[in-house]
Amino acid sequence: MLDLSGTRAVVTGGTRGIGAGAPVAVMCRNHRWFVEATVALSKLGAHTLYLNTSFAGPQIADVVAREGAVALIADAEFAALLADVDPTLPRIVAWHDPEPAGEHETLAALIEEGDAASPPAPAETGRTVILTSGTTGTPKGANRGTPDSLDPAAALIDVIPFRARETTMIAAPLFHSWGFAHWTLAMALSSRVVLRRRFDPEDTLRAIAEHRATALVVVPVMLQRILELPAEVRARHDCSSLRIIAASGSALPGPLAVRVMDEFGDVLYNLYGSTEVAWATIATPSDLRAAPGTAGRPPRGTVMRLLDHDGRAVDRGETGSIYVANEMLFEGYTGGGGKQVVDGLMSTGDVGHVDAEGRLFVDGRDDEMIVSGGENVFPAEVEDLLHGHDAVREVAVLGVPDEEFGQRLRAYVVLKDGATLSERQLKAYVKENLARYKVPREVEFVDELPRTATGKVLRRELG
């Protein structure tokens, strides 16, 4: 447990009186100082802007300026990335070992020197601003207030069996809505939280075994990295305490879901949502066994509909745009604007279909569908198939312009260590399992795919 008694001084001492409604940027990895800063700002009623640790320097400078931040709390390791940020902006250093703190004040020093008395309640409740991933452009700030009730937490617990006073390891980034939501849920449940500054596959297993964690919160690529460890390495760590592996943040390929459950038991839950709508559906272990690749069903209190371009509901089995309504919908982007809303339901920006059992399958982003030779193709379907190939470690498929067919598919493939696979063999594999027009015209073998900190592929860096 962390002692948060001195958090008032963290902000007031270092920035000369930040109060209610003041925007403060936080750029920290998963560690105690993220928690200390967040609690301090909450006590002051300040608005907290969480910066993605994988953003480039110009992105960070643009976001900090756009959001009007009056102070910045950051780990020392990001000093170079913050070079373009206004140098007059007050800064406080969070984690700085082994990096030097430099000329700026540190959270540790401010807490040590500060007044431990409880501050008065702020005049207004601060807001949390989570940034979109920025995979297709400049990151937007998603403005989110405090829920009106405990119903959202109850809805999550109704499907994913978290219990009070247990131990949750959060490997997903806390600055992202998925990791942040589980930290706040753990606080509400009086649970112990295990954090590591950086994700390491074996260290994650070691921490689970050491602390007998009952829940692990991850993004899907972390599960892939864990399963890539040699079997003898995985066997060193007793992870039988896990009752829950909760994954979200990017697509969970069906073959990966099955492998995870074969390794750790039927404890895997996959949540589909977005920064703007929070969650839309949750897949349980039984869903993932019966229909690998599914995103599951809406939890209690959430309404989901698939609509056509005219805003009419599509029939079961047909593809439509995914719209969601729940108590956690965001309140608009901080720079203005928002997502399309139809009859009180907000667009996720994705398209999908529902099977006969009512389970959602996400076919891809609305703007990623291509038309090749008059046929609609969603790259995600091809990606999911190729994830199941024994030689493929990672894959990304996207549409590129084609003079003859309008658009064509190009696949970027990362092979497993020691595996061999030719372009001809890969195309033949797709042709054996999917329609001819879904076969990639081009295949590029690459060493790795560019990803965000939450595992989403940066497609703009591939095309």
Phi-psi region of 188 (alpha: psi -120 to 50; beta: other; left: phi over 0): alpha
Domain with CATH 3.40.50.12780 in the chain: 151-365
CATH topology of domain 151-365: Rossmann fold (3.40.50)
Instruction: Tell me if 389 sits within 8 A of 445, measured CB to CB.
Output: no
| Alpha-carbon separation of residue 456 from 138, 243, 278, 394, 411 (angstroms) | 15, 26, 17, 12, 16
pLDDT at 116: 76
Within 206-298, strands assigned E span 215-218, 244-247, 268-274, 278-283
Longest CA–CA span in the chain (Å) reads: 72
pLDDT at 337: 67
Which among 393, 15, 28 has a CA at the least distance from the CA of 175? 28
Q: Which two tokens stand for residue 202?
A: 């074996």
Domain with CATH 3.40.50.980 in the chain: 8-126
Cα separation, 406 vs 399, in Å, equals: 10
The amino acid at 169: M
Q: In which residue are the tokens 């928690």 written?
A: 35
CATH of domain 8-126: 3.40.50.980
N- to C-terminal Cα distance for the chain? 46
Cα separation, 450 vs 225, in Å, equals: 15
Instruction: Tell me if 438 sits within 8 A of 381, measured CB to CB.
Output: yes
Tens-binned pLDDT, residue by residue, of the chain (463 aa):
343 444 444 444 434 568 888 999 999 999 999 999 999 999 899 999 999 888 888 888 988 998 899 999 999 999 999 999 999 999 999 999 877 767 888 998 888 887 777 778 888 888 888 887 655 456 777 666 666 667 878 888 999 999 999 999 999 999 988 999 999 999 999 999 999 999 999 999 999 999 999 999 999 999 999 999 999 999 999 999 999 999 998 889 899 999 999 999 999 999 998 878 888 999 999 999 999 999 999 999 899 999 998 889 999 999 999 999 888 777 677 666 668 888 888 898 899 999 999 999 998 887 777 777 677 788 888 998 999 999 999 999 988 887 776 788 999 999 999 999 999 999 999 999 988 889 999 999 999 999 887 788 888 888 6
Instruction: Tell me if 440 sits within 8 A of 382, measured CB to CB.
Output: yes
Q: Map residue 410 onto helix, strand or coil.
A: strand
Instruction: Tell me if 181 sits within 8 A of 204, measured CB to CB.
Output: no
- The whole-model pTM stands at 0.84
Cα separation, 445 vs 412, in Å, equals: 6
Cα separation, 106 vs 10, in Å, equals: 8
| Burial class of 461 by CB neighbour count within 10 A (0 to 12, 13 to 18, 19+) | exposed
pLDDT at 391: 95
Distance, C-alpha 154 to centroid of its chain: 21
Q: Which two tokens stand for residue 209?
A: 């075994």
Q: Which two tokens stand for residue 251?
A: 């697509």
pLDDT at 10: 45
Which among 194, 88, 134 has a CA at the least distance from the CA of 452? 134
pLDDT at 463: 67
- Give every CB contact of residue 90 below 8 A, 6+ residues apart in sequence: 14, 15, 16, 70, 71, 72
Cα separation, 297 vs 295, in Å, equals: 7
Within 206-284, strands assigned E span 215-218, 244-247, 268-274, 278-283
Question: Which homologous superfamily is 370-461 in?
Answer: ANL, C-terminal domain (3.30.300.30)
pLDDT at 373: 64
Domain with CATH 3.30.300.30 in the chain: 370-461
pLDDT at 145: 61
Q: Map residue 425 onto helix, strand or coil.
A: helix
